[in-house]
A and B are shown apart, each in its own frame.
Chain A
Amino acid sequence: MTSGEASPTLTVTIPRLNRHPSWVHFLASVTRLVDAHDCARQVGAPQVIAPSEQRPGLDSGVFPTVAWRLLEWLRDRETEGALDYTDITPFVDDIAPLFGLAATDVQYIATLLATPTLLRYADRPDAEASTFQVKSTSDTALLDKQRRGHAYRLTRVGREAIGFAGGYFKWIHASAEAQKLLIDLRNGEYLSFRSMAQRLITRIRSESLEVLRAIERPEVDEMRTIYLRDAKKFTATITEVRKVLDDVQNELLRPEVREDIDSWSAGQRAEDAVTVSDMNELIRIAFSALRTLQMRLSTFTVDVQKRDRALVGLIRFDSIAKGLFMLPDTDVRSAADYLAGVLAGAGPLLPDLVAFAPAQLERTIKIQRRHEKKPPGFRRIGVPVVVKDRLDTFVERNRALLLDMLGEGPVSLTKLMEDDRIDFQDLQYMAEAASLLVSPLIMLHDDPKMRIRIGLGDWTTWTLPDGWEMSGRELIMRYEPPGSKDGVKSKGRAA
């Protein structure tokens, strides 16, 4: 088959948990990093538009597969003992018909892998440095090509690529990865310990999140299949990791280990130092993450066995909103109550009362008095016109009579209100009459030889014109010279 004849293919979208070959994980992890390297963005450009999700190249995806297979083929030749250049013609003959390619297509891929390219990156020697350095490497070819013909061998970078892909952290390897913590601890590789612990925690958490997704998205059947199939292996790995973490914790309790860590840490820069406490904290987090993973796995298993989860797929809320508009009047009569019922279950419930605690009651149960219109005071309206207060008007009208009454003896509130000679037309409330007694200054009294004294008398009950009764202490006003011993001196003394 030639390159022009594409074989019938099936495009398969593989769910997240349905593991790809490890080299695909490796490639996926660097794709966007390579894009970052290749982007021709001007520094300081204001646009922050997301790059295209499409990639140039063939949709069939055959070339990266051929490239990886070539790397693996050459690795296999090395494993067999050939450390020299190997003619790839047998590989080309095998692979080209398999993917519907021409021999030249495969040769092109081999040439591509053997061509170096320049990779630049910026680096700061340390956190305090004010400038960064541009570093670069062109050590990027994965294959060495013999000068003539089609013979190739892996470069160091090519072997590393295979190594990186092979090092993909599978959950099943988690206990072996955890063992590295012990190895690092026993060999004084404390920085490595930190990064290994972080790697392990990330892996546990990531697995935990995947299980949660499987619980929350019951429609993702692939996840169920994988977890159910691997449930025993999965649980066994958790147990193994916990055992290793126990060992690490015990190791960290040994005095000689702690001393060694302390002395090593003292000689490090602040950002590189790893203390015993840091290590214990990392192990604690790992334990906690492991516990959560185990709980979720258990929930998931029970959930699957019950098989009674409600059908919860993707809900088209926008369609529901449109459907709501279209409800005919025959269905809508009780719609408001029904919708209110739905919202009462899932909507934002708010307190009916403003307060629940006594401390909050002050503003809610205090009687809200209607604000009476303020009596006119000395306010200025445009031009300075003085508007007199009702009390002032009252005093002005009755001042002489009041002073006469005071001259005759003490004047109580009762006496004041019962005296027919006093004109109360300016006052509207009993309180205003009382305020006259407690505020003698408004009497405008200006005789320095006399004083107006105020005092309290007995308990009294007044019957108001509208039938209401009011009780309180009698208020008594006296007019007497300063220093008079005859005045009201204490509360409660009878008038």
Chain B
Amino acid sequence: MSGLIDYERLGRVSDLLKRQRIIRSAAQEGRVRDIEIEASEILRSLRDDEREALDALLRGGGWELQEYDDAMPGVASRARVWVLIRDAETREGSPLSLEPAWLRLALRSNETRATTIYWFMFIWLQTLSFLYERINRPVSAVSEYVSGIIDRDELEERIQERLDEIRALGDRVMVAGPQEGDATERQRLPIAQTLLAGEDGHTRASDIRRRVGAFLKVMEDGFMIERIASDAGSERYRQTLLGAVQINQSYSSGLIHLVPVEQTLAEMDRRLAAETAPGDTADAA
């Protein structure tokens, strides 16, 4: 049955979606807010023409609405989940941006935007390493979003380790440089230099802790990760369905360009080999 499209209802859903980008009709743990339940009821009751109108409305702003049922792991029994996915190509006209994230991650008010972005990217890649690489999960494996865990202490340790490694490497590069003791070689790694230098020329553990704390909060507020119950004293998070779908969706248009060419070539070789000899992976014993 068709009728007049009630844009007031669509507007309410669209408004909530742009605020939190994920709507659940029920949760496996904890309680879903009334406003979310109301929006999910509207979404469930939309006629085809209303749904098309909503999709068009969102598409105009560079968004795509995707719907999942309880066949997706992590979705409560008989529940539905809607996620609002950003079209990676659309940059303008959105009320959502990363500017608030930069403000919250900066340790000082006069910190340069580039410094904050380097830090954000560095911590973000490490969390992705926990969520994907550690559990041998490709970015397209959305349904495994419930498996990866980020432990805050572990993340901080990992970051400290990487900084130490780069610091050691930086020293070696300097020594092996054309002019021993000259800082010119170090100048050639500006991102490393930015991350290694804190307020007093040395990034301290407390700086890392503050950055990681702010980062996790921003990710949580952006509905990319959610905190999960864990032992007292530990702070653990897992990816949300929104986070997993968004990474998969935008991988080809952004993240892929960060993958070293050698890795892409090795992957292609591996796939070619697999296509040549489909079946089992084998090694002589």
Q: Which of B180-194 contact A (CB under 8 A)?
A: 187-192
Q: Which of B188-238 contact A (CB under 8 A)?
A: 188-192, 195, 218-219, 221-224
Segment at the B interface, from A133-141, A258-266, A332-340 = A332-340
**CB pair B260 A344 closer than 8 Å:** no
The bracket for how many chain B residues form the interface is 35 or more
How far, in angstroms, from A329 to B105 measured CA to CA in the complex?
24
A367 is an interface residue with CB less than 8 A from chain B: no
**CB pair B247 A352 closer than 8 Å:** no
**CB pair A341 B192 closer than 8 Å:** no
- Of all chain A residues, the one with the shortest Cβ separation from B277 is A221
Picked from A8, A12, A18, A352, the residue with its CB within 8 Å of the CB of B99 is A352
**CB pair A345 B133 closer than 8 Å:** no
How far, in angstroms, from A218 to B270 measured CA to CA in the complex?
13
**CB pair B143 A212 closer than 8 Å:** yes
Residues of B contacting A208 in the complex (Cβ-Cβ under 8 angstroms): 71
Given contacts A14-B280, A221-B278, A346-B246, contact A312 B138 (CB under 8 A): yes
Min CB–CB distance A99 → chain B (angstroms): 14
Residues of A contacting B117 in the complex (Cβ-Cβ under 8 angstroms): 336, 339-340, 343
Picked from B139, B253, B267, the residue with its CB within 8 Å of the CB of A345 is B253
**CB pair B97 A329 closer than 8 Å:** no
- Of all chain A residues, the one with the shortest Cβ separation from B275 is A221
How far, in angstroms, from A216 to B275 measured CA to CA in the complex?
17
**CB pair A314 B251 closer than 8 Å:** no
A350 is an interface residue with CB less than 8 A from chain B: yes
How far, in angstroms, from A126 to B117 measured CA to CA in the complex?
60
B121 is an interface residue with CB less than 8 A from chain A: yes
Q: Which of A302-317 contact B (CB under 8 A)?
A: 309-317
**CB pair A324 B191 closer than 8 Å:** yes
How far, in angstroms, from A322 to B121 measured CA to CA in the complex?
11
Q: Mark B16-27, 1 if CB is under 8 A from A, else 0.
A: 001101000000
**CB pair A347 B138 closer than 8 Å:** no
B136 is an interface residue with CB less than 8 A from chain A: yes
Min CB–CB distance B222 → chain A (angstroms): 2
A57 is an interface residue with CB less than 8 A from chain B: no
**CB pair B97 A342 closer than 8 Å:** no
Residues of B contacting A15 in the complex (Cβ-Cβ under 8 angstroms): 280
Min CB–CB distance A355 → chain B (angstroms): 9
**CB pair A356 B122 closer than 8 Å:** no
Nearest 5 interchain pairs by C-beta: A348-B222, A345-B88, A336-B114, A345-B250, A349-B96
Residues of B bordering A, CB below 8 Å: 15, 18-19, 21, 69-71, 73, 86, 88, 91, 94-101, 113-114, 117-118, 120-122, 124-126, 128-129, 132-133, 136-144, 162, 165-166, 187-192, 195, 218-219, 221-224, 246-260, 263-264, 267-268, 270-271, 274-275, 278-285
Other 19 A-B pairs with CB < 8 A, given A335-B114, A346-B88: A15-B280, A216-B140, A221-B275, A314-B136, A314-B138, A317-B133, A324-B191, A325-B166, A325-B191, A329-B189, A344-B86, A344-B88, A344-B97, A346-B255, A347-B98, A347-B101, A348-B218, A348-B223, A349-B97
Q: Provide a sorted-by-A list of 10 A–B residue pairs whose CB atoms are within 8 angstroms.
A: A11-B282, A209-B143, A213-B143, A219-B138, A219-B274, A221-B274, A317-B132, A339-B121, A343-B117, A356-B95
